[in-house]
Amino acid sequence: MSIFSRLKEGLKGVKERWSGGIARLFAGSSFDAAFWEELEDRLIAGDVGLELSEELVASLKEEVRKQGITSPEALRDVFVEKITSELNAVPGMGQPFPLTPAPQVLLMIGVNGSGKTTSAGKLALQYKQQGKSVILAAADTFRAAAVEQLKIWGERTGVRVVAQGQGSDPAAVAFDAWQAARSANADLLIVDTAGRLHDKHNLMEELRKIHRVLLREAGEERLQTVLVLDAVLGQNSVAQAETFNTILPISSVILTKYDNTAKGGVVLSIARRLRVPVRYIGLGEAPEDLSPFDTMEFARALMEGEDR
């Protein structure tokens, strides 16, 4: 099943699909002022971001003028092309994590509830299914249930989980897990972290420390800092990303809960504002509900009927 047929399933609960509204608009018959206003409104409502929405509309108007296009229907391909090239302007967009010497390290960060632990488990499963050896590190030592939650993912996927007790130093857990990954010749180490501590400053300091240890041990080439963002939060998740990016250099984004959002344009906002590639999107809570983010498929889906 393609990711967008899966999306169709997952999105049943969402009242008005963003893509549905866009597709309907392009099925209309003429370029009156209302068309352009409606298009801009829909882009903004889908959390594409104000600046980019205005820019897209202006450049589409320009194409209409230059190419003598007479109906919205004839503008579809141009629109798809613009969306795709906006996304593809960010290196690595829609591609899996780059190959590095083993063990590769994915440091999962993000605010609480964004889907770090779930995405770590899903990634473990995917890599395992590709025949890679994976280790999970429980560096969220703050929440009592966090280690347990990761261990359940470990059991589900048959992946070893390196953990210490609640309240232990997360950077020490990360260090231990790195050593374990090295000595086991693992292909991949996925480090889960906390999303909330007693206060915000502590969390950021803690993440910096974990990052510092992993950077020192694994080196820059092996280390991916993966920001996990909740798509339902729209522009707020973009703001979160900007905050995290001032603390640590973000190298990849996973956008979760895409099955629950009516604001699918947030991916364009992330591309524009952060210039960091979105590599996967979360489409549900089950282990297999994580898909590579395909830019072309995404852009095309915007033109394919309101029912999708």
Ligand X SMILES: Nc1nc2c(ncn2[C@@H]2O[C@H](COP(=O)(O)OP(=O)(O)OP(=O)(O)O)[C@@H](O)[C@H]2O)c(=O)[nH]1
Residue closer to ligand X, measured from CB, 104 or 114: 114
CA 132, chain centre distance (Å): 22
In the complex, minimum distance from the CB of residue 170 to Mg ion, in angstroms, rounded to a whole number? 12
Question: Of the candidates 65, 64, 66, which has an alpha carbon nearest to the alpha carbon of residue 74?
Answer: 64
Q: What is the DSSP letter of 255?
A: E
| Nearest-10 crossing angle of helices 18-26, 72-88 | 140
Encoded one letter per residue, x for contact with Mg ion by CB under 5 A and - for no contact, window 91-120 reads -------------------------xx---
Q: Classify residue 211 by burial, with Cβ atoms within 10 Å: 0-12, 13-18, 19+.
A: buried
Burial (CB count <10 Å: 0-12, 13-18, 19+), residue 94 = buried
Which region, judged by CB under 6 A, interacts with ligand X, from 95-103, 114-122, 214-222, 244-252? 114-122
φ, ψ at 55 (rounded to 5°): -65, -45
Whole-angstrom Cα distance, residue 36 to residue 47?
17
Residue 210 interacts with ligand X (CB under 6 A): yes or no:
no
Interacting partner of 73 out of Mg ion, ligand X, none (Cβ under 5 to 8 A depending on kind):
none
Is 260 near ligand X (CB under 6 A)?
yes
β-pair type (104-109, 188-193):
parallel
Instruction: Pick the piece of the chain touching ligand X (CB under 6 A) from 50-58, 62-70, 201-209, 284-292.
Output: 284-292
Told to check if 115 binds ligand X by CB under 6 A, we report yes
Considering only 84, 114, 225, 295, the residue that binds ligand X (CB under 6 A) is 114
Residue closer to Mg ion (CB basis): 117 or 261: 117
Q: Which residues within the stretch 215-254 sit at the binding site for ligand X (CB under 6 A)?
A: 228
Question: Which residues are near ligand X by CB under 6 A?
Answer: 110, 112-118, 140, 146, 194-196, 228, 256-257, 259-260, 282-285, 289
